[in-house]
Amino acid sequence: MDNAVEVILQEVDLVEVVGEYVSLKKAGKNYKGLCPFHQEKTPSFSVSPEKNLYYCFGCGAGGNVFNFLMELENIPFKEALEMLARRQGIELESRDPAREKAHRRKKDLMFELYRLVARFYQYILLETKAGSEARDYLEKRGYPLDWSQKVGLGLAPPGWDNLLKFLEKKGYQPAFLEEAGLVIKGRKGYYDRFRDRLMFTIFNRRNHPIAFGGRLLSDVKDQPKYLNSPETLLYSKSRNLYGINWAAEVIREQDSVLVVEGYTDVLSLHLHGMENSVASLGTALTLDQARLLKRFASRVYIAYDSDIAGESATRRGLEILRQEGLKVFIVELEEGMDPDDVVREQGLDFFSEKVKTSKNYLEYLLDRACEKFDLDSSSGRIEAGQECVRVLGNIDNEIERQVYLKYAAEKLDLEAGGLERELNKLLKGRKKENEERGYRTIKKQVGSSALEIFEEKILSRLLAGDEEQEFFSRIEPEDFVGPKHFELAQLIAAGKTVSELQLGEDPEIVELVNRLRFNEVQGSTDELVERFLVEKFNQQKRNIREEIKSKSVLPLFWINNKLLEYRDILEKERGLRKEG
């Protein structure tokens, strides 16, 4: 396993991997782009092909290809390793081969199972009498049956255990089917999760069925209209988008994606030609979904029901999109209408015009804030103004904030200066709260002692693999005094490789390693060691002088000890000069 990590680090082209997620441009011997880990307008994200390392000078994110995939894909090291091994065609040796083999086998079986179940549901829909009502429903909605099959529509038959019996005959055990989210264990045994429902197959990006959504065709007491698969080995709702398997390439080509709420919204839009549409499987978009969208487009159009778009959970999701640097627009629909209704009743051209004239998300929020209150009354304008200030407070870009501040002032018929003063109070309060909570800020070298600066130069050279034995023959890890410098020097002296340090458990050490690996250090080993030791001796002498100054009473034995310490330092300095 350790050998595989080193082989991957040597063979993988980091620029190529990062370039699949970030638009990179050559800048000298490195590549630059906008950081995928924080919102920025000016590129501060750098990739060094020479060092096979990335680093953001804005937020401090950095590391090797494993760090990049783990952070961006939100996956554990093991999954990143497997992904890169597959990419390079490297066979991994498992520390627990039997367990790994069993896990892979179970996952493969579940993929196979979902393909079989999707075909079962399709057969019930298209080939049986039980599917006649569902077929009529699809035809009324304008869905051709051959197209319905292509997009994975099916029917879960009525009855408690039709799927269960079918799969048992195929050799599947009920406990495995329960783990796969297809059956439920009750007091009297197992029964089908989906019964008498139109079924929508949810695919992953590689077009494999991984989950289902089921819709009732008629109202049933105590039953939800929609029922979805639970989280399984294959499926995580927060990391998937319905329709991404069909839409990804179109989204990339158009640099825009239309996000809707439901399965039928996506299907109707694709059927009518708007093929950059996906559904969020809920209205509260997650960070993983935002990052998935960001890989394909910079513009996101949200076409939810008008009431849903203003809900707090939805707003949190849309804020995540903005924080990820995406441009967000709201497609405003008539009350009670969804994209499926609009396209079927008023046509694609009408809906496309709605998309073209959609509002920027911030403009939409400010309009909503003003619409909530009676602007003809003083109290209404005050409340609307406070709401607008909260919206403006979430805008990081100063120019954008000024533009929308003026927009809000005009809507409220207020002076922009008054709103700006309230906004500044809000921002000042937030800044104080953040400082009190101790939010992490990137450590700068400004204010570091000269000794700490030389320590970092030596550590940078050690991390580059330069003459480690020669360094440690003249200095010890205990000579390092800076924050985490001593710890890192100990780890390097103990033989830890750069890749092991970058994948370590101490985030401060990981950040320090990634930052130092990007340093370019001039000078020979002798020069660096000599300057480091000179500065170390100077620091020690300063410390002794400060101690003496700070004492109000100076016992004779204490003074003698300090003088001996001082003389010892002077002897070391003379020895260093003789060596030079």
In a domain, 94, yes or no: no
Which CATH number do you get for residue 199? 3.90.980.10
Give yes or no: residues 121 and 214 share one domain.
yes
Find where tokens 């939409």 sit: 364
Considering the domain architecture, whether residues 270 and 323 belong to the same structural domain is answered as yes
Q: State how far the Cα of 284 lies from the Cα of 478, in Å rounded to an integer.
A: 51
> Strand 53-56 and strand 62-63: pairing?
antiparallel
What CATH number corresponds to the domain at position 556?
1.10.860
Q: Please, which residues have CB within 8 angstroms of residue 460's CB and are 6 or more apart in sequence?
A: 516, 517, 519, 521
538 pLDDT more than 50:
yes
Residue 126: which of 76, 199, 55 has the closest Cα? Answer: 199
CATH number at residue 77: 3.90.580.10
CA distance 506 to 515: 14
CATH number at residue 395: 1.20.50
- Cβ neighbours, 10 Å, residue 219: 7
* pLDDT top residue among 262 and 118: 118
| End-of-domain residue from the set 88, 115, 136 | 88
Which phi and psi (to 5°) does residue 496 adopt?
A: -65, 135
Q: Give how far Cα 375 sits from Cα of 202, 378, 413, 420, Å.
A: 46, 7, 9, 19
Examine the domain organization and report whether 482 and 517 are in the same domain.
yes
Domain co-membership, 223 together with 122: yes
Strand, helix or coil for residue 214: strand
> Is residue 58 situated within a structural domain?
yes
The confidence band for 374, taking pLDDT boundaries of 50, 70 and 90, is confident
**Within 13 Å and on the Cβ side, how many CA atoms surround 135?**
15
Amino acid at 276: N
> What is the tens place of the pLDDT at every residue in 288-347?
788 788 878 889 999 987 655 546 556 777 888 887 888 999 998 888 888 999 999 999
pLDDT of residue 475: 76
Question: Could you tell me the pTM of the whole model?
Answer: 0.62
Q: Does some domain include residue 95?
A: no
**Which of 121-125, 385-389, 436-440 shows the highest mean pLDDT?**
121-125
Q: With respect to residue 324, please indicate whether it lies within any of the assigned structural domains.
A: yes
Tell me the per-residue pLDDT of 185-212, one tens digit each, with 9 for 90 and over. Answer: 999 899 999 999 999 999 988 889 999 9
User: Phi, psi (5° rounding) for residue 45?
Assistant: -95, 125
Sign of CA dihedral 276, 281, 284, 288: negative
pLDDT of residue 308: 58
Tell whether 220 and 131 lie within a shared domain: yes
Compute the distance between CA of residue 340 and CA of residue 322 in angstroms, rounded to an integer.
26
Query: Are 401 and 428 in a shared domain?
Result: yes
Indicate the DSSP class of residue 182. S
pLDDT of residue 38: 79
69 in a domain, yes or no? yes
Q: pLDDT for 241-251, tens place per residue?
A: 999 999 988 99
Distances (CA, A) of 75 to 1, 250, 288, 321, 544: 18, 26, 10, 20, 51
CB–CB of 147/134 below 8 Å? no
Q: Which residue has the higher pLDDT, 579 or 394?
A: 394
**111 lies in some domain:** yes
The CATH code of the domain that includes 343 is 3.40.1360.10
In a domain, 380, yes or no: yes
- Phi first, then psi: give them for residue 21, nearest 5 degrees: -115, -30
Q: Looking at the predicted structure, is the pLDDT value of residue 443 above 50?
A: no
Same domain, 216 and 343: no
What are the tens digits of pLDDT across the range 94-148?
A: 556 677 677 778 888 999 999 999 999 999 999 999 999 999 999 998 999 999 9
Domain ranges, residue 161: 100-235
Same domain, 6 and 60: yes
Q: Are residues 423 and 530 in the same domain?
A: no
**End residue of a domain, out of 357, 383, 410:** 357
* 357, 378, 410 - which closes a domain: 357
C-alpha span between 498 and 514 (Å, rounded): 9
Side-chain-side CA neighbours of 381 within 13 Å: the count stands at 14
Place 438 in a pLDDT band, splitting at 50, 70 and 90.
very low
Task: For residue 446, name the pLDDT band (cuts at 50, 70, 90).
Answer: very low
Answer yes or no: is pLDDT of 62 > 80: yes
Same domain, 518 and 399: no
- For 233-244, give the DSSP string: SS--GGG--BTH
205, 273: one domain:
no
pLDDT tens figures, 3-33: 678 778 877 888 888 888 888 888 877 888 8
**Dist. CA 307–CA 398, nearest whole Å:** 30
**Is residue 445 situated within a structural domain?**
no
Where do we find the tokens 């400082």?
A: 435
Q: For 62-80, what is the mean pLDDT? A: 85
Q: What was the pLDDT predicted at 350?
A: 95
Please tell me whether residues 250 and 312 are part of one structural domain: yes
Report pLDDT digits (tens) over 506-518: 878 888 888 888 7
Count of domains for the chain: 5
Please provide the DSSP assignment of 367-434 as one string: HHHHHTS-TTSHHHHHHHHHHHHHHHTT---HHHHHHHHHHHHHHHT--HHHHHHHHHHHHHHHHHHH
